[in-house]
Amino acid sequence: MSNLLKKPVAKHGKVHDITPESANWGYVGFGLYDLAPGESAAEATGDREVILVMIEGKAQFEACGQDWGELGDRMSVFERTPPHCLYVPNGSQWKAVATTNCKIAVCSAPGKGNYPARRLGPDSIELTARGKGANTRYINNIAMEAEDVADSLLVTEVFTPDGNWSSYPSHRHDEDDFPNMTYLEETYYHRLNPAQGFGIQRVYTDDRTLDETMAVEDGDVVCVPKGHHPCGAPYGYEMYYLNVMAGPLRKWRFEPDPDHKWIMERDA
C-alpha cells in the first residue's frame, strides 16, 4: 500500500492522527475523532493553530476558557450543508463532548497567535459550483485565502458528483515561488456515498519520480507532499473530501500540468 494513503487506525475514538513528523513534512496536521453521545475529546494546541470541523453530528465545545455551545447540524456530510467550525489559536486548549454520534476533524498548522478563537460558519460558508461538465464539483470554503481567519491554515470541503473528476485538471503547489506558485502540503480526507464505494486519486510529479495511483475508500486520508493530485468518483458513488493545506505563505497559487493545461484554457 502506498505510504501516501492513510487508513483509519481505529473504528472509534481518534481514528486518524497525522502529524508533520508521521507525514515527513513540515506544516500540516490532520486528526479525526469518531465519538458516540457522551464521549469527549480534548487537546492542547501547543505551537499550532487548529480549525475544528464538524464533519457530521453535534457536540458541545469549550476552547480558550469559553463555552461555545453546541456546534453542528448536518447528520450526514452528504447533505452538503455548510459545516460548523471553530478556530482555536496556538497556546490554547479545546474540549468537545458529543451530544450525538459525531465526527470531528482537527486541522492544524503552525500558529503565530494573530487570531482569536472564533466560530467559522455555517452562515459565512456558501456552497458554490466549480468546473464544467464531468469536471463539475461543489465547494464549501471554510478558511481559504479570501477568509482572513488564520495564520497558516487553508481549509475547504469539496463534493464531487458520481462519475465526475475533481482537483482537475491536474495541478501542483510544491514550490515556494510566490506569486507564481506557493508551497503547500495537503491532506485529503475522503468519504464515499454509498459508503461501500471507492474513488481514485493519483499523486505524481512532472518527472514521474513520484507517481502513485490509489483506490480510496470511505474514511481514508491521502497525503500530498508534492506533485499533481487529481481525484475521480466512479459512476454511482459520490465523493466528498476535506482539504487541509499549509506552507510558509498562506496563499494558494498553483501550476497546472502542462499536458492538461489546454483543458483549463478551453473552459475558461
Task: Reduce the secondary structure of 45-107 to three states and give it as a string.
Answer: CCCEEEEEEEEECCEEEEECCEEEEEECCCCCHHHCCCCCEEEECCCCEEEEEECCCEEEEEE
**Residue 142 domain boundaries:** 9-113+125-267
Contact assessment for residue 106 and residue 50, using Cβ atoms and an 8 Å cutoff: yes
Assigned domain for 3 exists: no
Assigned domain for 160 exists: yes
Q: What number of other Cβ atoms are within 10 A of residue 64's Cβ?
A: 17
Residue labelled with grid coordinates 491554515: 153
d(CA 75, CA 124) in angstroms, rounded, equals 20
Spell out the per-residue pLDDT of the chain, length 268, in tens. 789 999 999 999 999 999 999 999 999 999 999 999 999 999 999 999 999 999 999 999 999 999 999 999 999 999 999 999 999 999 999 999 999 999 999 999 999 999 999 999 899 999 999 999 999 999 999 999 999 999 999 999 999 999 999 999 999 999 999 999 999 999 999 999 999 999 999 999 999 999 999 999 999 999 999 999 999 999 999 999 999 999 999 999 999 999 999 998 998 7
φ/ψ region of 46 (left if φ > 0, alpha if ψ in -120 to 50, else beta) reads left
Assigned domain for 119 exists: no
Hey, what's the cell of 175?
Answer: 514550490
- Domain CATH for 251: 2.60.120.10
Assigned domain for 185 exists: yes
**Cβ within 8 Å of residue 181, ≥6 positions away:** 172, 173, 174, 175, 253, 254, 255
pLDDT of residue 7: 98
Assigned domain for 2 exists: no
pLDDT of residue 268: 79
Contact assessment for residue 108 and residue 50, using Cβ atoms and an 8 Å cutoff: yes
What sign for the dihedral angle of Cα 244, 250, 256, 261? Answer: positive
Assigned domain for 200 exists: yes
Assigned domain for 1 exists: no
Q: How far is CA 167 from the centre of its chain?
A: 13
Assigned domain for 118 exists: no
Q: What number of other Cβ atoms are within 10 A of residue 22's Cβ?
A: 11
Number of domain units in the chain: 1
